[in-house]
Amino acid sequence: MNEIKIHEVGMRDGLQVEQQIVPTETKIKWIDELLKTGIDIIQVGSFVHPVKVPTMADTDALFKHFTQPGNKPEKVILSGLVLNEKGLERGMACGVEMFCMGVSASDTHSKKNTGMSTLEALDRIIATAKTAMSAGKKVQVSVQSAFGCGFEGKIPEERVIGIIEKYLENGITMISLADTAGHAHPAQVERLITEIYKKSDDVNIAVHFHDTYGLGIANCYTAYILGVKYFESAFAGLGGCPFTAKASGNVCTEDLVNMFNRMDLRNDIDLQKILEVSKEAEKFFAREMPSKLLKVGTLK
């Protein structure tokens, strides 16, 4: 049995693509509710330019609030996404506990997202990650568009492995495979994860799937069978990268947790509390969310 960890990214990846800005007080309410669910890691936001991604403009304020004594359970880790050194400085100043950062295996996506090629971004991210690690922070690096790109299509698996080898050479072992465009399928997931495990006994793989073509949960199950412990998902199935060709929602947290519940895994996570947040998001955005459990409820 895997010691499964759920990394809730709805407050960042879920909201970054939305046109409607969620007020800070509403975000605080949603995060408060998520903190009570038993989820392990909550991604509060990203340290990006507020003009480019206005939905993330209050990330610093949110971290300052939730890192105050008594404002969160001690066992829950608060993560934040950074793109560069400036983002790291902001995150260090407001109490981020776990820094997430990465590069895209697609040059086109990388340039749209960061203004740099994959190789340029890789050198910069490795240096940023090592700075954060030297400061005693938890660090997770990612390979975005690891299973395909909305602009370029198929991404050679050896290109993804090459990026991961660079991470491992620099002592960075917590690595997320991000299916930014939602192109992944189970056989591909199995091939890539199996190859990565051959590279190092110390590597900790996380997976971040989007449900663009309806294979998100199947890909999560495949990763679980292979021994992956860290799963990133978003309440209500919100989300999508604003810098990819077809932004599509993340694997839905309540649907993912429901799968693990049905398998008698992670029964400590409160599905009803997650659903309450998802219902609030559905009401706020005034549209039907892709969450299956929002439509049918939990199995009694």
Q: Are 17 and 241 in contact (CB under 8 A)?
A: yes
Q: Which amino acid is at 283?
A: K
What separation in angstroms does the CA of 299 have from each of 34, 294, 296?
21, 12, 8
Asked whether 163 and 145 are in contact (CB, 8 A), the reply is no
**Residue holding tokens 């990330």?**
59
Of the candidates 94, 149, 220, 241, the residue annotated as catalytic is 241
Q: Give me the torsion for CA of 67, 69, 70, 74, rounded to 10°.
A: 70
Q: Sign of the CA dihedral 34, 7, 39, 62?
A: negative
Return the closest-CA partner of residue 28 out of 16, 45, 14.
Answer: 45
- Catalytic status, residue 241: yes
Tokens of 34: 């998520």
Structure tokens at 43: 């991604």
Q: Judge contact between 160 and 145, C-beta under 8 A.
A: no
Show which residues are catalytic: 241
